[in-house]
Amino acid sequence: MKSLVVTFVMIASGIFVFNSATWAQSSDPGKSEFHSSCATCHGIDGQGNGPLSSQLKVPPSDLTVLTKKNNGVFPFEAVYEIIDGAKSII
């Protein structure tokens, strides 16, 4: 009986740990979108060193510099306008 309770507690703890990891991932949709759409070129850290960055004619921007130049706030609107083509990069 005691081993059954211990087994149950271990399984329940494992389920809780895996579910909490899933909750943590889905709690930040922006981070998830960045990882799936941007990180291949810009890198996980946003410094322009993604696995495909060497394949591009124009190297990807270091996005951390954008934040530093904007008083520590990522300029979402400006970047979005560049991505969707409303604003060009000169």
Position 10, amino acid: M
Contact 62, 47 (CB under 8 A): yes
Both 42 and 23 in a single domain?
Answer: no
Tell me how many domains the chain contains: 2
Task: Kindly write down the DSSP assignment for every residue of 54-72, as one continuous string.
Answer: GG-SSPPP-HHHHHHHTTT
- For residue 75, being part of any structural domain is answered with yes
Whether the predicted pLDDT of 4 surpasses 80: no
pLDDT in tens, 49-70: 999 999 999 999 999 999 899 9
Note the pTM of the prediction, 2 decimals.
0.62
> What secondary structure does DSSP assign to 18-44, as a single string?
HHHHHHHHHT-HHHHHHHHHTHHHH-T
The verdict on residue 1 lying in a domain is yes
Q: Mean pLDDT across the chain, nearest whole number?
A: 80
Model confidence at 48, in pLDDT bands (50, 70, 90)?
A: very high
Residue 89: inside a domain, yes or no?
yes
Q: Quick one: 56 and 22 in the same domain?
A: no
Say if residue 19 is in the same domain as residue 52.
no
Is 33 inside a domain boundary? no
